[in-house]
Amino acid sequence: DTAVSQTPKYLVTQMGNDKSIKCEQNLGHDTMYWYKQDSKKFLKIMFSYNNKELIINETVPNRFSPKSPDKAHLNLHINSLELGDSAVYFCASSPSGTTYEQYFGPGTRLTVT
């Protein structure tokens, strides 16, 4: 089944902990993204990788560190979690080049208590 997948789907953790979210796509795309959707549903890009190279790095606290071991995987590690990090995190992928449709994963709902 071709898709963008993320694990875990739900993540509940306490302030100060470190956690990771994993993303994989089997669509053969070269570019992958991380988005954050807050409680007001606002979708904002955080990072983008093209062929394992970081190409977009928005104003995100350096507690967030993306890692792309290969072009089919993009993981997000978050250190010292804060209450304000609670959100839904979406991974997405697209072909590289110019402007293309982005395919989103199912999302990871992170709750920091």
Partner 1 sequence: GENVEQHPSTLSVQEGDSAVIKCTYSDSASNYFPWYKQELGKRPQLIIDIRSNVGEKKDQRIAVTLNKTAKHFSLHITETQPEDSAVYFCAASRTGGGNKLTFGTGTQLKVEL
Per-residue contact flags (x/-) with partner 1 for residues 52 to 71, judged by CB under 8 A: ---xx---------------
Query: Which one of residues 41, 69, 70, 84 is an interface residue with partner 1 (CB under 8 A)?
Result: 41
Direct distance between the N- and C-terminal alpha carbons of the chain, in angstroms, rounded to an integer: 35
Distance CA 80, CA 101 (A): 33
Interface with partner 1, residue 14, by CB under 8 A: no
Distance CA 93, CA 108 (A): 15
Query: Which one of residues 66, 89, 105, 108 is an interface residue with partner 1 (CB under 8 A)?
Result: 105
